[in-house]
Structure 1
Amino acid sequence: MELNNNGISSNVENEDRLSILIDDLLLSILGRVDITTTVKTSVLSMRWKHLPWFLRELTIDVKDFLLVLQPNPIEDEHMDKAMSSLSKAIRSFLATPRSEGAITRLQLKIYLISNYAFDIGPLVSEAIDTGILKDLDLAILDETEILDCTDERMLQRAGVVGDFFSDYPSIFHCLTRLSLYNLCFAKWDINYHLFDCCQQLQHLYLSNCDAGRYRVWKIDAPDSKLSILQLNFCVLGRLEIVCLPKLERLEWDTWLCPHAPLSFGFVPSLKELYLICAITRDVQGFVLSEVLRDTASIHTMKLDFQGEKLWMQPEGKQPCTAFNMLRKLSVHGIFVEFNLLWMRVLLEAAPFLEMFDIEIWEHPCLINDSKQSFGERTNPLWKVPEITSRKNSFMKGLQITGFKPLKQQIEFIRAVMHQAPNLATIVLKYDDPCEDCEKMGIFPPRSSTECVFPKNKDERDMVVKLLMGGVSSRAQIIFYN
């Protein structure tokens, strides 16, 4: 096939519009679809036949090989068939000689079931040893629901994963991201494997993993390159990060520790912290500033209480230097009945805060069901500081999602306006109720003038009047629904 100066065939009568594009553009298109679609294009068109093997970045996800309509949970038979197809795909891409350079990144999502480890392990290891594969993002999936996972099963799964890495140690050499599900590391030295052996590991995601239920997990890894650590429902007695010099972001969604779930030692690069949890009735909570006292570079923080009581205890009078670098603070999952003035304590502690993002939680469909596990919701018993002359001149934006013109919300916004004289925008957002809440109607009952988000001009003008009355502020109030 002749190519013209633009790299496009001069004989295009029998070509479709996509096929006449140059290879680089076609590869860019293939890089945006799943691997099964990529392979299908190579079968259907001679023009596209060679292209999948020129891709430098690959995503091979076992779920792309499952049937479109799947039962929930996914049955073992379907997982087995999907893994069989995935193994063939890996063999096709990794065992075939590549004349156009290495695979710069492979995102691989698998089930370690049956004997597929013995199919996949050697192929990936050889690709790494021969220089074909440079960067591996590996997820070892499990479809078992968290509540159905027994300690014995989590130990057994950890053994399978540990054996996989022990049998194919080359995988550690280019592993930059790892995701693991439903594992207990009580009999597997996770610190040695993930922080000593995986010298390139930058991103670690653990879901329902622990070191033995309620046991402390201590991380002391001065040579680790780990920059992102994400935990989801990991039942640890405590997470102690003694040393992780490259850690930039920590996310922890749901813990069951009665007191502070984590502590920090040497984390000079930590910039983002996300703590999300609906605490049970047995959890006492903790003072956030005490947990953060050895940090000094956090600029983005999200605290999410998921509609239950606060897991933060009242802050003391002494300022905490951990908040000095804070630029964006998100406080989500605040029960709609709670007062909000306690959050002024956080504003006092963060003198350079620029953006304050709040989300109000109101789900009547869950009100009664959650009481048994989480206990009664009680207003935060924080001593609210008196309005002082101390101002935050850096704060430019305030956003409240789930806004309703209730007294506690109006009072809080006015307090922020007083404290932030340079506030430029106040965004008040509507939050769609879930389907179950819509079936129940409005809860708790309120008068018609104060229970709904203001949608017409008259209602919005009334809110603006309530907010601006007696307050000197140039902030623009924006309603978004």
Structure 2
Amino acid sequence: MALDTGHTHILQQTKEDMIRNLFDDVLLFILGKVNLMTAMRASVLSTRWRHLPWSLSELNIDMKDFLHEPCADLTVADHIDRAMASLTGALRNMLSPSCRKTAITRLRISFIISNSYSSEIGYLVNEVIENGMLKVLELTSGVERLPGDDDIDEEMVKHANGVNSFFGNYPNISHCLTRLLLFHATFAESDLHNLIANVCTELRYLYLFRCETGFQSIFKIDAPNSKLNVLEFAQCCFAQVELLCLPNLEELICGNWLCKSLPLTLGRHVPCLKEVEIYSVMRSHQEQFKLSELLCGITCIILCHWIWLLPEKYQLLSAFRNLKELYIYDIFVGFGLLWTIALLEAAASLEILEVERDQIRQFCAERSNAPWEVSEFAYPKNLALKELKIIGFNASEEHIVFIGAVMDRASNLQSVALEDKCCKDFDAISTTSVKCRFPKNEDEQEAIVNNVRNRFSSSAKIIFSDKKVFR
């Protein structure tokens, strides 16, 4: 027994020596992978780690990490106050001039700006910026809540007022802020516009979740001096968002809008916009929309979650003239795949096409198949497409015909990637005759390849998700 105890002691000592001999850079890399609470505990338990949290160049301080009970709820006022009190204490400690010797390259704080503790947080961060110890600031304010929560409307107005006051009281913060995420806030239209156009002058990314300027309002953004690169809004109540001028905007994301039609209008002064992502579970009261009326000169489009498009043909030729990448995810099972060929035909410069077929009908508005016309265009079938990827491929005639239709139109096609994505219960709930069956072994895969090669002329290599390549 004594020998065992001694051996254990030697092993523990060896491990401690190994940690003691590690360079600070290595230990800081380890601490950078955990949340702040864990990093602080490590500094208490080991003298070797004691000084390290104050040497971290990136700090991520999230209110959720300071919840005091396993089942604490960030929609309960008392739980929020306790978490905010702990977060403020941790921030006070981490930003203390007497402890911190190195500058912070990036500080991320997730909290609630309208809470009473936010004034101290603002003061602490503002002071660090003044002292030149902080380079980049990212803020998240609010938490995702259900629409039926009590007093949610009142809380949304309070939250927006808190945001306005916070940036008004601490101007250094607004000039250092590059990333802002806001949940559940009701602004006056002029206040939200002022936030984007004049207050947060260094902002590169803005995310709005269930934010509004009044129910079914029209929100216009005219910000010629904005540096905003990415604008994303989800489940917002705007009737329309008109992007009149955002000169540096490169990516626009619109998801799960609540109004009747797609609430997007692009003005002429959005010259850098290259990527648009649109996703939504379309409800029965919502209308189809035309891509050609929204997109012009875009190089990358991402459509997902049962998007309901009005059929178009020649109108898309102008809208898709610069399109290089097209991603269509969760195609409604009732629509099939072949309608997407119309989009391919309109995008003569397209190089990457990726489609994913949804396997389940639930949560989807009742609709009939879209009568997209797939036919001959005036120009030769020498499209620039190089890569085709099908997520949710199954060994059905429909999928084989789709692959052939793409091969027929893209003589320069280099690869066809086929990926599995099956729902275990699909066969039980599907109302169609299509079965979810991905070729699992090499013999089945080779049979698929031979079927394609015998019917369609193409030198493209076919790659299955298990990385088996057929040339």
TM-score by length of structure 2 reads 0.88
Change (3 A) 1:325 1:160: same
**Where does residue 4 of structure 2 map in the other structure?**
none
Shift of 1:213: 1.4
Report SS of the residue matched to 2:134. Answer: coil
Instruction: Please say if residues 60 and 86 of structure 1, whose CA atoms lie closer than 8 Å, have aligned partners that are also in contact.
Output: yes
Matched to 1:300, the amino acid is C
**Where does residue 443 of structure 1 map in the other structure?**
430
Matched to 2:293, the amino acid is E
**Which shifted more, 465-474 or 116-125?**
465-474
CA displacement, residues 295-327 of structure 1 (integer Å, 9 cap, x when unaligned): x3x3221011x24xx422122424544423222
Instruction: Please say if residues 140 and 180 of structure 1, whose CA atoms lie closer than 8 Å, have aligned partners that are also in contact.
Output: yes
Instruction: Please say if residues 428 and 477 of structure 1, whose CA atoms lie closer than 8 Å, have aligned partners that are also in contact.
Output: yes
Q: Structure 1 CA distance, aligned partners of 2:117 and 2:389?
A: 49
Specify which of 284, 304, 309 is matched with residue 312 of structure 1.
309
Change (3 A) 1:451 1:82: closer
Matched to 1:197, the amino acid is V
CA displacement, residues 96-140 of structure 1 (integer Å, 9 cap, x when unaligned): 336634222101111246421222121112222222222110001
CA displacement, residues 188-229 of structure 1 (integer Å, 9 cap, x when unaligned): 611112321111111111111111111111111111110011
Instruction: Please say if residues 359 and 422 of structure 2, whose CA atoms lie closer than 8 Å, have aligned partners that are also in contact.
Output: no
Report SS of the residue matched to 1:95. Answer: coil
**Where does residue 236 of structure 1 map in the other structure?**
238
Instruction: Please say if residues 260 and 291 of structure 1, whose CA atoms lie closer than 8 Å, have aligned partners that are also in contact.
Output: no
1:355 aligns with 2:352: yes
Matched to 2:263, the amino acid is P
Report SS of the residue matched to 1:259. Answer: coil
Shift of 1:457: 4.1
Q: How many residues align?
A: 452
Structure 2: gaps (5+ residues): 1-12, 467-471
Change (3 A) 1:318 1:404: same
Q: Structure 2 CA distance, aligned partners of 1:409 and 1:13?
A: 60
Q: Name the % identity.
A: 40
**Where does residue 7 of structure 1 map in the other structure?**
none
**Where does residue 8 of structure 1 map in the other structure?**
none
Matched to 1:397, the amino acid is E
**Where does residue 129 of structure 2 map in the other structure?**
128
Shift of 1:151: 3.4
**Where does residue 179 of structure 2 map in the other structure?**
177
Matched to 1:419, the amino acid is R
Shift of 1:72: 6.0
Q: Structure 2 CA distance, aligned partners of 1:190 and 1:52?
A: 36
Report SS of the residue matched to 2:139. Answer: strand
Name segments (4+ residues, structure 1) moved above 4 Å.
12-15, 71-74
**Where does residue 290 of structure 1 map in the other structure?**
293
**Which shifted more, 26-35 or 140-149?**
140-149
Matched to 1:278, the amino acid is V
**Which shifted more, 215-224 or 262-271?**
262-271
CA displacement, residues 207-265 of structure 1 (integer Å, 9 cap, x when unaligned): 11111111111111111110011111112111111111111111111113433421112
Change (3 A) 1:404 1:327: same
Instruction: Please say if residues 251 and 274 of structure 1, whose CA atoms lie closer than 8 Å, have aligned partners that are also in contact.
Output: yes
What value does the CA root-mean-square deviation take over the aligned residues?
2.5
1:261-340 maps to which residues of 2 (within 5 A)? Answer: 261-265=263-267, 266-293=269-296, 296=297, 298-304=298-304, 306-307=305-306, 310-318=307-315, 320-340=317-337
**Where does residue 35 of structure 1 map in the other structure?**
36
Shift of 1:451: 4.7
CA displacement, residues 391-447 of structure 1 (integer Å, 9 cap, x when unaligned): 34431211111122334333222110100112122122111316xx36x82522638
Report SS of the residue matched to 1:242. Answer: strand
Instruction: Please say if residues 303 and 331 of structure 1, whose CA atoms lie closer than 8 Å, have aligned partners that are also in contact.
Output: yes
**Where does residue 479 of structure 1 map in the other structure?**
464
Q: Structure 2 CA distance, aligned partners of 1:103 and 1:38?
A: 16
Report SS of the residue matched to 2:455. Answer: coil
Change (3 A) 1:184 1:346: same
**Where does residue 251 of structure 1 map in the other structure?**
253
**Where does residue 139 of structure 1 map in the other structure?**
140
Q: Structure 2 CA distance, aligned partners of 1:43 and 1:172?
A: 34
Shift of 1:93: 1.4
Instruction: Please say if residues 256 and 280 of structure 1, whose CA atoms lie closer than 8 Å, have aligned partners that are also in contact.
Output: no
**Where does residue 453 of structure 1 map in the other structure?**
438
Instruction: Please say if residues 275 and 300 of structure 2, whose CA atoms lie closer than 8 Å, have aligned partners that are also in contact.
Output: yes
1:345 aligns with 2:342: yes
Q: Structure 1 CA distance, aligned partners of 2:260 and 2:394?
A: 33
Report SS of the residue matched to 2:19. Answer: coil
Change (3 A) 1:453 1:147: farther
Change (3 A) 1:292 1:423: same
Matched to 2:346, the amino acid is A
Matched to 1:340, the amino acid is L
Report SS of the residue matched to 2:266. Answer: strand
Shift of 1:383: 1.9
Instruction: Please say if residues 291 and 316 of structure 2, whose CA atoms lie closer than 8 Å, have aligned partners that are also in contact.
Output: no
Instruction: Please say if residues 138 and 175 of structure 1, whose CA atoms lie closer than 8 Å, have aligned partners that are also in contact.
Output: yes
Q: Structure 2 CA distance, aligned partners of 1:83 and 1:398?
A: 49
Report SS of the residue matched to 2:373. Answer: coil
Change (3 A) 1:406 1:324: same
Structure 1: gaps (5+ residues): 1-11
**Where does residue 92 of structure 2 map in the other structure?**
91
Change (3 A) 1:101 1:460: closer
**Where does residue 198 of structure 1 map in the other structure?**
200
Change (3 A) 1:261 1:311: farther
Q: Structure 2 CA distance, aligned partners of 1:110 and 1:459?
A: 53
Report SS of the residue matched to 2:18. Answer: coil
**Where does residue 163 of structure 1 map in the other structure?**
165
Shift of 1:334: 0.8
Matched to 2:339, the amino acid is W
Change (3 A) 1:151 1:67: closer
Q: Structure 1 CA distance, aligned partners of 2:119 and 2:383?
A: 61
1:397 aligns with 2:398: no
**Which shifted more, 84-93 or 66-75?**
66-75
